[in-house]
Structure 1
Amino acid sequence: MAQQVAEQAASSPAESVGGGRARRSIGSALPLALGGMLGAGLFVGIAPAALAAGPLLLLAVPLVLVAVACSALASAHQSASYRGPGAGYACIRARLGVLPARFGAATALAGQVAALAAIARVIAEHAMPAAPPVISSAIVLLVVLAATAGLRIRGAAAWVWLLLTLAVVGLVIAVCFAIEPPESPPMGAAQEDGAIGITGAAGVLFFGFLGFERLTAPAEERDRHRGVIVKWGVIASLVVTGVVVSLLAWALLHQLGPARLALSGQPLLDALDAAAGGRLRPMVGTAVGLALFPVLLGVLESLRSTALAVQRDQDLPAALGRESRAGTPYLLDLCAGVAAAAVALLVPPVPAMAFASCCLLVHHALANAAARVLLADDQVWRMRSACLGMGLAVILAMSMPVHAMLGTLVVVIAGPLLAGLVSRRWS
């Protein structure tokens, strides 16, 4: 699968630049994808994945890697054919029709709003453990206002935040393996350890691998890279994320055990406590909170990209496309921020994360289906990769918790109805 991603041919007008420019582009490409992937799913998502798969948690990582690689490949091809915001949505609309496109748009937007809320709750609960949920709502609104004012984390700043994330994870892994876990009786957590449990864990972990579309299908031309940069950037991002998730999951399983890990709301901090590293808890909690701020910005960028494409097709009110002096859609940002703030106020991070994963899996199932039609006259393996990605996304979505599937079903029904009312078109 990595070879498939490596051979994708999403090229851009920057093909003619020299080798020095290309090397600099690799350095700017990696944080785009990794900055989104190494987020709340890494810090919190391993616990609900352990609840699903138990001691077989690590088997879910290669499964989700294959699913993400297929989706990244499809996204790169869609971006090459449909430039501008919302390449995945645009491809679904062009290749599958209006109704599937509305399904895809609704699930993408709802999933990204839930992701904003989940990440904000993780920031608040780690950096300010005693803070009420309203603080997480305030965090979302402050980040959205900063993004609307034109804040973009790129270049050296992106690398600083990325290295902070890796340093925090490395510290926790080292502490977990340095201290032998205490003997503890079984805690009786309900866990699945069969195939359904593994696919359920992979569905939850899918949240921790999102962000690749910032590299494969950027909304703005200034973020677009040469095809060779995209392919190696995606490969490196998937490998790094897979290794980091695997090592952290192994360390947490070693220190906490499957049952205790499954019940943990803050697995990194609980592992530090179990390993007699409680004095590190405030520092690690603050570092986790800081590391997740660029992830919020990345999710908002992805939401903007899809929403602007939907608004361009008149399925969202035209007023949402109005731009501020910084060139950002301020009304769209405000609506997304208010919605995410409300979700953050009412929903804990794990259920919000599960709902976001389920919605985005449905979106990527449709995007892979559209890519399969797009690539019908291309090389056979590329078309089959899109088919595999579609099938895996459906399987993982169907393995999610019941509340996440029911919430996604509501979005799938309500989204096209609202789009039809706004556009006054039903086909």
Structure 2
Amino acid sequence: MGQQVAEQQAATGAGPAAGGPRRSLGSALPLALGGMLGAGLFVGIAPATLAAGRLVPLAIPLVLVAVACCALASAHQSASYRGPGAGYACIRARLGVLPARFGAATALAGQVAALAAVAEVIVQHAMPAAPPAIAAAIVLFVVLAATAGLRIRGAAAWVWLLLALVVVGLVVAVCFAIEPPAGLPVGPPRGDGAIGITGAAGVLFFGFLGFERLTAPAHEQDRYRGKVVKWAVIAALVVTGAAVLLLSAALLHQLGPARLALSGQPVLDAMDAAAGGGLRPLVGTAVGLALFPVLLGILESLRSTALAVQRDQDLPAVLGRTSRAGTPYLLDLCAGVAAAVVALLVQPVAAMAFASCCLLVHHALANAAARVLLADDQVWRMRSACLGMGLAVILAMSMPVHAMLGTLVVVIAGPLLAGLVSRRWS
């Protein structure tokens, strides 16, 4: 009965989150966009071009459909499973313990890798001469700030988002205003094709993550009305999709597919190619600053899943201890140390690909659970979950080999570790 009431409240916009001064579209939109306008936007276009060449714009509608299905499934799961880790909770309730452990392991590993990748991108753009240890230090600094209770909301969130959009607008304007140098290499290092498009979409998936902060909040005070969530997610997907499309077109125009595919800092390389080298320090610093809230958003998502897993005793109970600010400080510290190690050992593009592959597997399982949850609901909702599951599997199988192998290790090791902690295997 409680589950039906929760679903009805989510559908009608009623319930505890229906009122309050923070429940407008203007305050909801930054929650989703705060994670999407991140490292995937500024760096992910290059590895996507390596996979698809000039066809990379065709990957954007594909990934938009996949993310929309995942966001819809997440919203329905949150309506039925309130509290942290709604997607994980739905997988456990609808598919069983073992699939839930697969989903939890891939979600947590993907979010740790995402923390490392974003920190490395910050350093590469804002402090290009700094050693990798600085990226590890940035992760730990942000984790400590979040543990102390730092959350970017309201007007501050809009300032950070506008900074990212201004950088995109500046780069696009410069790239199209200046003709590219003659004699650019023709063709990417790899051939174009359908597999390349799905591979590019898999990489770009990283740039659209963050919607779960809005669709499946861990705390009731962060919950918005159903209509606000719907329109905020739609607006976030439109803005992010337009930003990725415009930036990818500008970078392809200025660098060409071959040079773009091999670029580790495509935005800065494009500024150099367009005779905008004088703006390089300004753009690099702006990119670095714009990415700091993304780290906080990733940590919020990681906390949400980890606390749900700890509640089911698949993680040590000590990780649930909270500080005076109400944050799980031991959990934050473990996540920060793990991400710092990844930042020291793995390049950002590789970490990004691994994170995307892991999170695609997680969302494939989450959509499968949503399909069972929605079996008696409207047909189109159930079919959107099926579509999301299928697309997530296809995109994950199109990722680079190293990302798939790393994800396979997580899928095997995660349930084993959970079984050892809980001393339960089913």
Return the offset for 1:13: 1.5
1:94 is paired with a residue whose SS is helix
2:224 is paired with a residue whose SS is coil
The amino acid of 2:19's aligned partner reads V
The amino acid of 2:302's aligned partner reads L
The amino acid of 1:291's aligned partner reads A
Unmatched 5+ stretches in structure 1: 1-7
Residue matched to 1:193:
192
CA distance in 1, matches of 2:269, 2:382: 44
The amino acid of 1:236's aligned partner reads A
CA distance in 2, matches of 1:16, 1:161: 27
CA distance in 1, matches of 2:345, 2:187: 28
In the alignment, is residue 416 of structure 1 matched against residue 415 of structure 2?
yes
Residue matched to 2:314:
315
Residue matched to 1:239:
238
CA distance in 2, matches of 1:379, 1:94: 21
> Does the 8 A contact of 1:10 with 1:76 survive in 2?
no
Return the offset for 1:184: 2.0
Residue matched to 2:6:
none
CA distance in 1, matches of 2:17, 2:288: 38
Classify 1:289/1:312 alpha carbon distance in 2 versus 1 (closer, same or farther; 3 Å).
Answer: same
> Does the 8 A contact of 2:17 with 2:223 survive in 1?
no
Unmatched 5+ stretches in structure 2: 1-9
> Does the 8 A contact of 2:203 with 2:356 survive in 1?
yes
> Does the 8 A contact of 2:186 with 2:257 survive in 1?
no
Question: For the aligned residues, what is the CA RMSD?
Answer: 1.2
Residue matched to 1:252:
251
Residue matched to 2:7:
none
Return the offset for 1:190: 1.8
Classify 1:154/1:15 alpha carbon distance in 2 versus 1 (closer, same or farther; 3 Å).
Answer: closer
Worse overlay, 217-226 or 329-338: 217-226
CA distance in 1, matches of 2:18, 2:360: 36
Residue matched to 1:100:
99
Residue matched to 1:48:
47
Residue matched to 2:3:
none
In the alignment, is residue 230 of structure 1 matched against residue 229 of structure 2?
yes
**1:347-366 aligned within 5 A:** 347-366=346-365
1:47-77: CA deviation from partner (whole Å, max 9, x where unpaired): 0000000010000000000000000000000
**1:20-419 aligned within 5 A:** 21=21, 25-186=24-185, 189-419=188-418
Classify 1:125/1:384 alpha carbon distance in 2 versus 1 (closer, same or farther; 3 Å).
Answer: same
The amino acid of 1:243's aligned partner reads A
> Does the 8 A contact of 2:186 with 2:256 survive in 1?
no
Instruction: Provide TM-score, normalisation by structure 1.
Output: 0.96
1:195-246: CA deviation from partner (whole Å, max 9, x where unpaired): 0000000000000000000000011112110001000001000011000100
Instruction: Provide TM-score, normalisation by structure 2.
Output: 0.96
Residue matched to 1:9:
11
CA distance in 1, matches of 2:209, 2:178: 32
> Does the 8 A contact of 1:123 with 1:290 survive in 2?
yes
> Does the 8 A contact of 1:10 with 1:230 survive in 2?
no
CA distance in 2, matches of 1:232, 1:284: 31
The amino acid of 1:128's aligned partner reads M
1:347-389: CA deviation from partner (whole Å, max 9, x where unpaired): 0100000000000000000000000000000000000000000
CA distance in 1, matches of 2:17, 2:137: 43
The amino acid of 1:13's aligned partner reads G
> Does the 8 A contact of 2:37 with 2:240 survive in 1?
yes
1:315-359: CA deviation from partner (whole Å, max 9, x where unpaired): 000000000000000000000000000000110100000000000
CA distance in 1, matches of 2:100, 2:385: 17
1:263-312: CA deviation from partner (whole Å, max 9, x where unpaired): 00000000000000000000000000000000000000000000000000
- Size of the alignment, in residue pairs? 417
Residue matched to 1:3:
none
CA distance in 2, matches of 1:272, 1:191: 25
1:218 is paired with a residue whose SS is coil
Return the offset for 1:9: 2.9
Return the offset for 1:10: 7.7
The amino acid of 2:160's aligned partner reads W
CA distance in 1, matches of 2:183, 2:171: 21
Return the offset for 1:411: 0.1
> Does the 8 A contact of 1:50 with 1:262 survive in 2?
yes
The amino acid of 1:397's aligned partner reads A
Classify 1:10/1:75 alpha carbon distance in 2 versus 1 (closer, same or farther; 3 Å).
Answer: farther
Classify 1:112/1:16 alpha carbon distance in 2 versus 1 (closer, same or farther; 3 Å).
Answer: closer
CA distance in 1, matches of 2:60, 2:103: 25
> Does the 8 A contact of 1:12 with 1:225 survive in 2?
no
2:52 is paired with a residue whose SS is helix
CA distance in 1, matches of 2:239, 2:393: 25
> Does the 8 A contact of 2:118 with 2:348 survive in 1?
yes
> Does the 8 A contact of 1:148 with 1:328 survive in 2?
yes
Return the offset for 1:191: 1.9
> Does the 8 A contact of 2:184 with 2:256 survive in 1?
no
CA distance in 2, matches of 1:421, 1:213: 29
CA distance in 1, matches of 2:245, 2:362: 26
1:2-36: CA deviation from partner (whole Å, max 9, x where unpaired): xxxxxx83845146538xx58x6211100000010
